[in-house]
Structure 1
């Protein structure tokens, strides 16, 4: 009975996620059409809103300028982590027949095309797009790995769950874990690339 309620909630969540995705896609399509219709008007607006480098740097708070090197210092470890996690997935996922995660679905670089951003703002957007996309990419790889090896929910509430977590077995449910772990592993093979 308890599992039935959870299954119903998961089904409703999936339906809402699907509905949200469809609505966001429609909104994107409307925005795309508006951009096409108002291209010249938008470009004029972008030129007006563009802030030059000199003005940007002279109006930036000093602490922002001083903290920028610290923010950017994380980039090298992030690139190394990206390489290691991608290598891990490339080697290990085929061994366990886990569908690979596509980087391009998570790391989306497109904000640099916005004409109202100056070079520094574009670079900052590039950094954020890469870093946040990388975190999503790594979370998905870790989630699939966890589903394969230890799909057991925690005893305490988890603040942020990856997409696979809701499929996991209850904490202490040894019977389902032993009997149904093969199903969850098979589910990783069936995911569409």
Structure 2
């Protein structure tokens, strides 16, 4: 890997850490704290937020008909997602120990915390749970696939791709046959950066 590429990756990691720190400042601004993965709001924040809740009647009355009609199509995606989740989880529980790949912790990717928001009504909380699960699931699956790819085929693509997974930076440059053959066994075991 080139020094310039390593420097860019280090900058990206630094910016990512800054972003996380900035997001954590929101806890003070909106009067909440996280303890053991549960969100606790201050009493004044709970009272303030409940003023913004939209009743179910008003929520449904104001909903465009196209949103109501399309809801079953959105929710029908949950069934294949649950199956995909089950099969990919079974795959990693079975195969990752065989290959020496650290397992992906689903709790690092799938977060259900919007239920603590007092300004959301029941339907909004259910919709938020759906989105949290679906987006978290695909991030979780991408990490499982990325670790699998690092083991079986750690080669960057020739074409530019839109979204890089977390393991991609360890991959060999496209077309670098000598480095691939001489170091592939080492890269297959290099998960030292994972917690």
How big is each residue's C-alpha offset from its partner over 1:13-38, in whole Å with a ceiling of 9 and x where there is no partner? 2222233333333x144246x347x8
Choose the corresponding residue for 2:158, options 138, 155, 163: 155
| Structure 1: segments with no counterpart, 5+ residues | none
Match in the other structure for 2:14: 15
Match in the other structure for 1:90: 93
**How many corresponding residue pairs?**
188
| Structure 2: segments with no counterpart, 5+ residues | 34-40
Distance 1:98 1:83, change over 3 A: same
Match in the other structure for 1:179: 182
Verify: 1:55 aligned to 2:58, yes or no. Answer: yes
Aligned residue for 2:51, secondary structure, equals helix
Choose the corresponding residue for 1:30, options 28, 49, 65: 28
Aligned residue for 2:111, secondary structure, equals coil
User: 1:21-170 counterparts in 2 under 5 A?
Assistant: 21-25=20-24, 27-31=25-29, 34-35=31-32, 39-170=42-173
Q: What is the TM-score when the length of structure 2 is the normalising length? A: 0.89
* Deviating 4+ runs (over 4 angstroms): none
CA contact (8 A) 1:99 1:191 kept: no
How big is each residue's C-alpha offset from its partner over 1:37-71, in whole Å with a ceiling of 9 and x where there is no partner? x8343223222211111111111000000000000
Name the structure with the higher strand share: 2
Q: What is the TM-score when the length of structure 1 is the normalising length? A: 0.90
Separation of aligned partners in 1, 2:27 and 2:123: 29
Distance 1:135 1:106, change over 3 A: same
Separation of aligned partners in 1, 2:91 and 2:51: 47
Aligned residue for 1:7, secondary structure, equals helix
Name the structure with the higher helix share: 1
Match in the other structure for 2:4: 5
